[in-house]
Amino acid sequence: MSATAIILALLPLSQTASAEIAQAEQMRLNTCIQNVDENPMEAYEDSLAWLGNGNRPKARYCNAIALIAIDKLEEGAARLEALANAPDPISLEDRSRYMAQAGNAWLTANYPEAAIIALSEALELQRGSADLFKDRAAAYLALGRWIEGVDDLNAALELAPTDAEALSMRARAHLATENFAAAQADMQDARIYDPENIDILVLRGDIREAIRLSRETG
């Protein structure tokens, strides 16, 4: 048998082995994701053992989300960013997700500037995501960058017009800039789409109080 024939004969076995490895890794990642919610320390310890067996992308992802789950937010966010930018064969969808999760971790850790950078990169990879625009808006609003926050919320609402959270966030931004009419309109729309939301009822009270105070001082 020629060398070429031997190689061709071995290819199906090689492909089968690769598929089995990929399936096993995905199952291990699924277990990690479940443990992140139920037993984050166990997920973290398993991620370290997994990394010791090979520094593959799914192992690094498991480690990053486990770090976030045990409140090591900055380290987890940094590892997600590194994974998103790694030369490994990772899909654009996964790279966007890693950046989005990094951005939210930075925001939770109270680093809104870092969150904006990560979420902007995620949006470069996935422009049509209302959630990404909304998440970056939250980072802008945390910095008091109201105009940029409203711009992102406008983009989010173009993609998801009935998103009550985006409407209430934009109402808060308008309230901060004393655009009471716009704040009230967004709040009322948010109530239509989520009438039982207590936060929206609190927002309504805040808007009414701000309007009352402005009339007293105006």
Q: Which of 141, 156, 171 is the last residue of a domain?
A: 156
Residue 184 domain flag: yes
186 and 208 both lie in a single domain: yes
152 and 174 both lie in a single domain: no
pTM, entire model: 0.86
- Identify the band that residue 6 occupies on the pLDDT scale cut at 50, 70 and 90: very low
Residue 50 domain flag: no
Residue 34 domain flag: no
Count how many domains the chain has. 2
Q: How far is CA 122 from the centre of its chain?
A: 9
At 59, list the tokens.
Answer: 């192992």
**Cα separation of the two ends of the chain:** 95
Q: Which of 107, 133, 156 is the last residue of a domain?
A: 156
98 and 142 both lie in a single domain: yes
185 and 168 both lie in a single domain: yes
144 and 175 both lie in a single domain: no
Q: What is the pLDDT of residue 127?
A: 82
166 and 211 both lie in a single domain: yes
Report the 10 Å Cβ neighbour count for 145. 17
151 and 175 both lie in a single domain: no
Asked if 84 contacts 126 with a C-beta cutoff of 8 angstroms, the reply is no
AA identity, residue 75: E
How long is the chain? Answer: 218
What's the CATH code of the domain at 131? 1.25.40.10
Q: What is the pLDDT of residue 12?
A: 64
> Cα separation of 179 and 96, whole Å?
34
Asked if 168 contacts 162 with a C-beta cutoff of 8 angstroms, the reply is no
Residue 199 domain flag: yes
Which pLDDT tens digit goes with each residue over 35-71? Answer: 999 999 999 999 999 999 887 899 999 999 999 999 9
Residue 76 domain flag: no
Return the percentage of the chain with pLDDT > 90, whole number. 80
Work out the mean pLDDT of the chain and round it to a whole number.
91
Q: What is the pLDDT of residue 54?
A: 80
Which pLDDT tens digit goes with each residue over 78-131? Answer: 999 999 999 988 899 999 999 999 999 999 999 999 999 999 999 999 888 999
Q: How far is CA 108 from the centre of its chain?
A: 11
140 and 168 both lie in a single domain: no
90 φ/ψ angles, rounded to the nearest 5 degrees: -115, 135
Dihedral in degrees, nearest 10, Cα atoms 19, 23, 26, 28: -130
Which is more confidently placed, 7 or 195? 195
> Cα separation of 90 and 155, whole Å?
27
Residue range 174-186: mean pLDDT, rounded: 97
Residue 193 domain flag: yes
Q: What is the pLDDT of residue 55?
A: 79
User: Domain of 216?
Assistant: 162-218
Residue 36 domain flag: no
